[in-house]
């Protein structure tokens, strides 16, 4: 059995597109050390490459269709995604079953915390919960918990301070529980720095420089038999333009909003939209401050922006996923969700949506806005694939930010003050370091869903047989224990197999 711990340090949104050039400039010495003395690869995320579903997919080694998670929000205003929505065993569940201890800190998708053999600290906004519950008070007393509530732009110093608090909690718990097998924590600075400051690369670098220092502290903690994995759930890049999903669906006659009080405002009757106001205030000082005030003003909310304003009795297509570079289109089916589209029209409507999406061009360059378009069954597998959006649109180079808000009659616009600066990209980072890892080994085909199987194998633990990811055996040194050992799989209870078979037959309409 492999001795030692595995420490997984997640850097949300981190990208080699920034790290590699800075390392070449002689910056980020800890990242350079890991590149020189460990294994590394770009890390392909899932579709959509968003924080959710990415982190649960990492934790389980499975695609979203086996988890039932596709976004932060559930369809048709059914609430926010929580840990209880992960329909799968995770890496810490498997370790707990085998009486191995874990420490899990600040991993998105773990709120509220679940019972594990070890400690779990999870947050949602400013709400902090732990397993065991009494641990929360102990942490506040010993460490403090100064994590701010996100939403508006945060100073870089605040982002870094928040992550330092997360790091200190992990250090405290590692000292408290020294026989743990797995320690996993996520630092958010890279992702937030992209969203808030992408156009100011000096500020973004300050965030990465701080992360480089935190990684060094974890390296200093390693014992000779320990391993360190550095990874991110997705990458990041600049926002090129905004795609207004609901404006397009309205224009094509697929979606209608309810008549609301916002349609009756004086500004609405005059045809003055929020977009026009935003375009104006961007030209004057204190634009961001004014933008925030405008967003909070009911009298200026002249066009409905929320799914709550959709008239589903007159809507054929809406979007349960439209907050990044990937758009999910949902057909308002009679049989599935009490909608207006009969099942007999489902395939024809999907084909129609695909053909119309293919024709959308950027007005300035003439390039297609969408480079890849999928039916859900082409992207996902598993018994929860039925919950996925019916058609998935991936924007060109993932550089268009999709939003639902309707601010005028255009479907493509320049990014304004409220859309931020950075957007997610498909490829994050993966670096592995330790006694069984090859030195200076670079490859290019690692996937996010490969990491849970790889970590479990390194720890000589069995994999779930329905994991989609594979063990990255190429990172292990020749003649190392992990390289020589066969991959183990846990047995699946016959009742579970029977239940899965029945559910599949039901989904296919065969029983």
Looking at residue 496, its pLDDT comes to 57
Residue 492 has pLDDT above 80, yes or no: no
**42-75 pLDDT, tens digit each:** 999 999 999 999 999 999 999 999 999 999 887 7
CA angle 13–404–65, rounded 5-degree value: 55
Residue 294 has pLDDT above 70, yes or no: no
Question: Is the backbone peptide bond immediately before 386 cis, with ω within 30 degrees of 0?
Answer: no
271: confidence class by pLDDT, cuts 50, 70, 90: very low
Are 231 and 430 in contact by the 8 Å Cβ rule? The answer is: yes
The answer to whether residue 181 sits within a structural domain is: yes
User: Cα-flanking dihedrals φ and ψ of residue 353, to 5°?
Assistant: -60, -45
Lookup: tokens for 314: 């007159």
Domain with residue 319: its CATH number is: 3.30.1360
Domain with residue 142: its CATH number is: 3.40.720.10
The answer to whether residue 290 sits within a structural domain is: no
For residues 251 and 246, give the distance between their C-alpha atoms in angstroms, rounded to a whole number.
Answer: 8
Mean pLDDT of 354-369: 98
Lookup: tokens for 306: 């929320």
Instruction: For residues 223 and 367, state if they share a domain.
Output: no
Are 14 and 40 in contact by the 8 Å Cβ rule? The answer is: no
Looking at residue 22, its pLDDT comes to 99
In this structure, of 78-87, 271-280, 329-338, the range with the lowest mean pLDDT score is 271-280
417: confidence class by pLDDT, cuts 50, 70, 90: low
Residue 279 has pLDDT above 80, yes or no: no
282: confidence class by pLDDT, cuts 50, 70, 90: very low
Instruction: For residues 334 and 473, state if they share a domain.
Output: no
323: confidence class by pLDDT, cuts 50, 70, 90: confident
Instruction: For residues 22 and 58, state if they share a domain.
Output: yes
Share of residues in the chain with pLDDT > 90 (%): 74
The answer to whether residue 108 sits within a structural domain is: yes
The answer to whether residue 364 sits within a structural domain is: yes
User: Cα-flanking dihedrals φ and ψ of residue 272, to 5°?
Assistant: -95, 115
Looking at residue 268, its pLDDT comes to 45
Domain end, chosen from 419, 451, 477, is at 419
CA angle 282–360–315, rounded 5-degree value: 90
Number of separate domains in the chain: 2
Nearest to 469 by CA among 496, 487, 495: 487
Instruction: For residues 115 and 249, state if they share a domain.
Output: no
In this structure, of 198-202, 386-390, 428-432, 501-505, the range with the lowest mean pLDDT score is 501-505
Looking at residue 408, its pLDDT comes to 79
508: confidence class by pLDDT, cuts 50, 70, 90: low
Question: Is the backbone peptide bond immediately before 48 cis, with ω within 30 degrees of 0?
Answer: yes
For residues 87 and 262, give the distance between their C-alpha atoms in angstroms, rounded to a whole number.
Answer: 39
For residues 5 and 179, give the distance between their C-alpha atoms in angstroms, rounded to a whole number.
Answer: 9
Instruction: For residues 28 and 176, state if they share a domain.
Output: yes
If you average pLDDT over every residue of the chain, what do you get? 88
For tokens 């007005």, name the residue. 363
349: confidence class by pLDDT, cuts 50, 70, 90: very high
322: confidence class by pLDDT, cuts 50, 70, 90: confident
Lookup: tokens for 233: 């759930």
Instruction: For residues 170 and 203, state if they share a domain.
Output: yes
**374-405 pLDDT, tens digit each:** 999 999 999 999 999 999 999 999 999 999 88
Domain end, chosen from 387, 419, 451, is at 419
User: What is the three-class DSSP state of 100?
Assistant: coil
Range of the domain at 178: 6-238+424-494
The pTM (predicted TM-score) of the whole model is 0.88
CA distances to 8, 240, 411, 416 from 420, rounded to whole Å, are: 29, 11, 18, 7
Residue 203 has pLDDT above 70, yes or no: yes
For residues 46 and 448, give the distance between their C-alpha atoms in angstroms, rounded to a whole number.
Answer: 7
Are 227 and 477 in contact by the 8 Å Cβ rule? The answer is: no
Instruction: For residues 228 and 352, state if they share a domain.
Output: no
Which residues have a Cβ under 8 Å from the Cβ of 390 and sit 6 or more positions away?
328, 329, 330, 331, 346, 350, 375, 376
Instruction: Provide the pairing of β-strand 182-187 with 6-11.
Output: parallel
**67-95 pLDDT, tens digit each:** 999 998 877 657 788 898 899 999 999 99
Looking at residue 416, its pLDDT comes to 74
User: What is the three-class DSSP state of 212?
Assistant: helix
To the nearest 10°, report the CA torsion of 71, 77, 82, 84.
Answer: -110
Domain end, chosen from 419, 443, 476, is at 419
383-416 per-residue burial string, b: 16 or more CB within 10 A, e: under 16: bbbbbbbbbbbbbbebbbbbbbbbbeeebbbebb
The answer to whether residue 443 sits within a structural domain is: yes
User: What is the three-class DSSP state of 369?
Assistant: coil
Residue 1 has pLDDT above 60, yes or no: no
User: What is the three-class DSSP state of 181?
Assistant: coil
Looking at residue 510, its pLDDT comes to 61
Residue 499 has pLDDT above 70, yes or no: no
The answer to whether residue 327 sits within a structural domain is: yes
To the nearest 10°, report the CA torsion of 174, 175, 177, 180.
Answer: 40
Instruction: For residues 473 and 398, state if they share a domain.
Output: no
Instruction: For residues 123 and 17, state if they share a domain.
Output: yes
User: What is the three-class DSSP state of 299?
Assistant: helix
For residues 109 and 186, give the distance between their C-alpha atoms in angstroms, rounded to a whole number.
Answer: 11
Instruction: For residues 155 and 30, state if they share a domain.
Output: yes
Instruction: For residues 487 and 408, state if they share a domain.
Output: no
Instruction: For residues 234 and 247, state if they share a domain.
Output: no
The answer to whether residue 298 sits within a structural domain is: no
For residues 333 and 317, give the distance between their C-alpha atoms in angstroms, rounded to a whole number.
Answer: 9
Looking at residue 367, its pLDDT comes to 97
248: confidence class by pLDDT, cuts 50, 70, 90: very high
Burial of 40 (0-12, 13-18, 19+ CB in 10 A): buried
Share of residues in the chain with pLDDT > 70 (%): 83
User: Cα-flanking dihedrals φ and ψ of residue 385, to 5°?
Assistant: -60, -30
CA distances to 38, 280, 294 from 153, rounded to whole Å, are: 35, 21, 16
For tokens 């980072």, name the residue. 429
The answer to whether residue 407 sits within a structural domain is: yes
144: confidence class by pLDDT, cuts 50, 70, 90: confident
Looking at residue 304, its pLDDT comes to 45
Mean pLDDT of 250-262: 85
């Amino acid at each position: 059995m492999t001795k030692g711990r595995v420490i997984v340090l997640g850097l949300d949104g981190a990208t080699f597109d920034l790290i590699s050039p800075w390392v070449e400039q002689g910056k980020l010495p800890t990242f350079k050390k890991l590149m020189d003395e460990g294994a590394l690869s770009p890390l392909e995320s899932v579709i959509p490459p968003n924080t959710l579903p990415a982190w649960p997919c990492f934790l389980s080694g499975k695609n979203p269709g086996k988890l039932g998670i596709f976004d932060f929000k559930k369809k048709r205003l059914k609430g926010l995604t929580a840990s209880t929505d992960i329909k799968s065993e995770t890496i810490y569940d498997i370790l707990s079953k085998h009486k191995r201890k874990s420490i899990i800190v600040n991993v998105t998708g773990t709120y509220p915390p679940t019972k594990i053999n070890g400690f779990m600290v999870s947050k949602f906004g400013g709400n902090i919960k732990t397993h065991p519950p009494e641990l929360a008070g102990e942490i506040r007393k010993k460490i403090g918990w100064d994590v701010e509530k996100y939403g508006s732009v945060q100073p870089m110093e605040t982002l870094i301070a928040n992550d330092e608090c997360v790091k200190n909690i992990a250090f405290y718990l590692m000292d408290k529980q020294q026989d743990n097998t797995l320690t996993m924590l996520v630092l958010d600075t890279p992702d937030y720095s992209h969203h808030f400051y992408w156009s100011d690369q000096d500020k973004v670098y300050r965030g990465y420089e701080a992360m480089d220092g935190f990684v060094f502290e974890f390296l200093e903690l390693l014992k000779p038999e320990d391993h360190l994995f550095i990874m991110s759930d997705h990458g990041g890049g600049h926002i090129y333009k905004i795609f207004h999903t609901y404006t397009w669906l309205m224009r094509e006659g697929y979606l209608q909003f309810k008549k609301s009080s916002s349609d009756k405002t004086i500004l609405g009757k005059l045809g003055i939209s929020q977009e026009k106001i935003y375009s104006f205030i961007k030209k004057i000082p204190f634009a961001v401050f004014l933008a925030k005030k405008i967003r909070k003003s009911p009298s200026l909310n002249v066009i409905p922006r929320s799914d709550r304003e959709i008239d589903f009795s007159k809507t054929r297509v809406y979007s349960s996923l439209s907050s990044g570079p990937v758009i999910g289109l949902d057909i308002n089916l009679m049989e599935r969700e009490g909608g207006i589209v009969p099942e007999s029209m489902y395939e024809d409507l999907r084909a129609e949506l695909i053909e119309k999406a293919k024709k959308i061009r950027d007005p300035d360059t003439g390039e297609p806005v969408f480079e890849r378009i999928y039916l859900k069954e082409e992207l996902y597998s598993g018994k929860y694939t039925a919950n996925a959006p019916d058609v998935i649109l991936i924007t060109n180079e993932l550089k268009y930010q999709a939003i639902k808000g309707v601010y005028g009659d255009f479907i493509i616009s320049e990014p304004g003050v409220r859309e931020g600066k950075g957007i997610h990209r498909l490829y994050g980072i993966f670096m592995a370091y330790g006694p069984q890892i090859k030195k200076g080994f670079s490859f290019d085909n690692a996937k996010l869903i490969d990491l849970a199987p790889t970590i479990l194998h390194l720890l000589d633990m069995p994999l779930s047989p329905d994991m989609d990811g594979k063990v990255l055996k190429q990172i292990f040194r020749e003649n190392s224990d992990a390289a020589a050992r066969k991959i183990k799989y846990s047995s699946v209870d016959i009742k579970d197999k029977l239940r899965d078979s029945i559910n599949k037959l039901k989904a296919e309409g065969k029983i």
